[in-house]
């Protein structure tokens, strides 16, 4: 074989190895995926999300949380949006998803309707991609970073509540548990810490933190990693006999702004969940918290990287999925 033949063979081997390393679904995602079939899709989605945001700020955390819960179960395929039909209990009806706020679902449904109202776009854009775009837009509207998103996902063909079990992080998780769950989705500890900062917006319910402020352990009824003043404030907002549906802000300082206050709060012992505060109390993750508490821009860069990687998890392409006409139901 001549020198030219050897070179060609080398290139073929390298390309083969690259395709073996990079999943085909990821390779098919690209920022201009809809350029030829629905060139204005991003502005259509953004306009709809902006209208929804002006109606209620809950749009921000609800959409962001919906995206996360979708991607961690069966991948980013909008399977979490499917409604039960009597013959199948779906993802959204699993106990871990019952607290997903309706505003997230409503945001995607309205954006899908706006996209499909444009004749050239009708039935061309997946609910999974609309959720990705809407998530980016709510973060930007909350004064967080804006970034380009990769598109080209199909909607999933399966949604089962049983698939949710053990796939979503619990408020009581320690660092090892968090790292293991995120690593199972191809995400590093740095990605995990960045994505945890989604708790800089939104709210939780008193029932999720009752153990931390009343029954942490025999020797410490209150979690000792909690700032004492903050713990007292939480007890005032969440007395023992409180309605478990009562909601409190995840970030007590800037709850409607997507910023790095989350990390500053952790430094003060003001992480709402054990899984939040452990990021500062564990020496393995503390340095990252300190850096991002000091530099919001550094955090934004890491967050965009993590969100891009999250958006590649379990992506469906080709015959593995389709484009739903109704985000809440499988196509007939």
| Catalytic site includes residue 94 | no
Residue 226 has a CB neighbour count (10 Å cut-off) of 22
Binding residue per annotation — 169? yes
Residue 57 tokens read as: 């700020």
70 assigned to a ligand binding site: yes
Q: How far is CA 267 from the centre of its chain?
A: 24
The structure tokens listed for 299 are 């955090």
- Is 251 part of any known ligand binding site? yes
**325 assigned ligand-binding residue:** no
| Residue 205 labelled as part of a binding site | no
Question: How many helices (H) and strands (E) in the chain?
Answer: 14, 2
Distance, CA of 45 to CA of 328 (rounded, Å): 18
Residues in the chain: 332
Catalytic residue among 69, 94, 205, 294: 69
- Distance from first CA to last CA of the chain, Å, rounded? 56
**Eight-state DSSP code of residue 153:** P
Say if residues 286 and 232 touch (Cβ distance below 8 Å).
no
Q: Is 254 marked within a binding site?
A: yes
**CA of 180: how far to CAs of 12, 166, 168, 192, 199, in Å?**
35, 11, 11, 10, 20
- Say how far apart CA 26 and CA 49 lie, in whole Å: 26
Q: Is 75 annotated as a binding residue?
A: yes
Annotated binding site for heme b: 199
Q: Please identify every residue annotated as catalytic.
A: 69
Binding-site residues for Ca(2+) sit at 70, 73, 75, 77, 79, 91, 200, 251, 254, 259
Binding residues for substrate: 169
Binding residue ranges:
70, 73, 75, 77, 79, 91, 169, 199-200, 251, 254, 259
């Amino acid at each position: 074989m001549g020198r030219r033949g050897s070179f060609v063979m080398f290139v073929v081997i390298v390309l083969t190895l690259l395709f073996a390393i990079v999943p085909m679904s990821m390779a098919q995602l690209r920022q201009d995926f809809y350029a030829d079939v629905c060139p204005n899709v991003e502005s259509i989605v953004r306009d709809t999300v902006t209208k929804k945001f002006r109606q209620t700020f809950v749009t921000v955390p609800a959409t962001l949380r919906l995206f996360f819960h979708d991607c961690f179960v069966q991948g980013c395929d909008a399977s979490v949006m499917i409604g039960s039909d009597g013959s199948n209990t779906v993802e959204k009806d699993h106990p871990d998803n019952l607290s997903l706020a309706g505003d997230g679902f409503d945001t995607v449904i309205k954006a899908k309707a706006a996209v499909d109202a444009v004749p050239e776009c009708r039935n061309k854009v997946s609910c999974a991609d609309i959720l990705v775009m809407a998530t980016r837009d709510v973060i930007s509207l909350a004064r967080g970073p804006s970034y380009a998103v990769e598109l080209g996902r199909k909607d999933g063909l399966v949604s089962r509540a049983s698939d949710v079990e053990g796939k979503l992080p619990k408020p009581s998780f320690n660092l090892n548990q968090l790292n293991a769950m995120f690593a199972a989705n191809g995400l590093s500890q740095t990605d995990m810490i960045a994505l945890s900062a989604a708790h800089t917006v939104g709210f939780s319910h008193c029932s999720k933190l009752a153990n931390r402020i009343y029954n942490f352990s025999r020797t410490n009824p209150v979690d000792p990693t909690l700032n004492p003043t903050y713990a007292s404030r939480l007890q005032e907002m969440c007395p023992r006999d409180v309605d478990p549906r009562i909601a409190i802000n995840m970030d007590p300082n800037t709850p409607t702004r997507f910023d790095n206050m989350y990390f500053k709060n952790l430094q003060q012992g003001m992480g709402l969940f054990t899984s939040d505060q452990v990021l500062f109390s564990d020496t393995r993750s503390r340095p990252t918290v300190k850096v991002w508490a000091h530099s919001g821009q550094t955090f934004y860069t890491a967050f965009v990287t993590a969100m891009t990687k999250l958006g590649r998890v379990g992506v469906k392409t080709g015959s593995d999925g389709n484009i739903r006409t109704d985000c809440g139901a499988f196509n007939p």
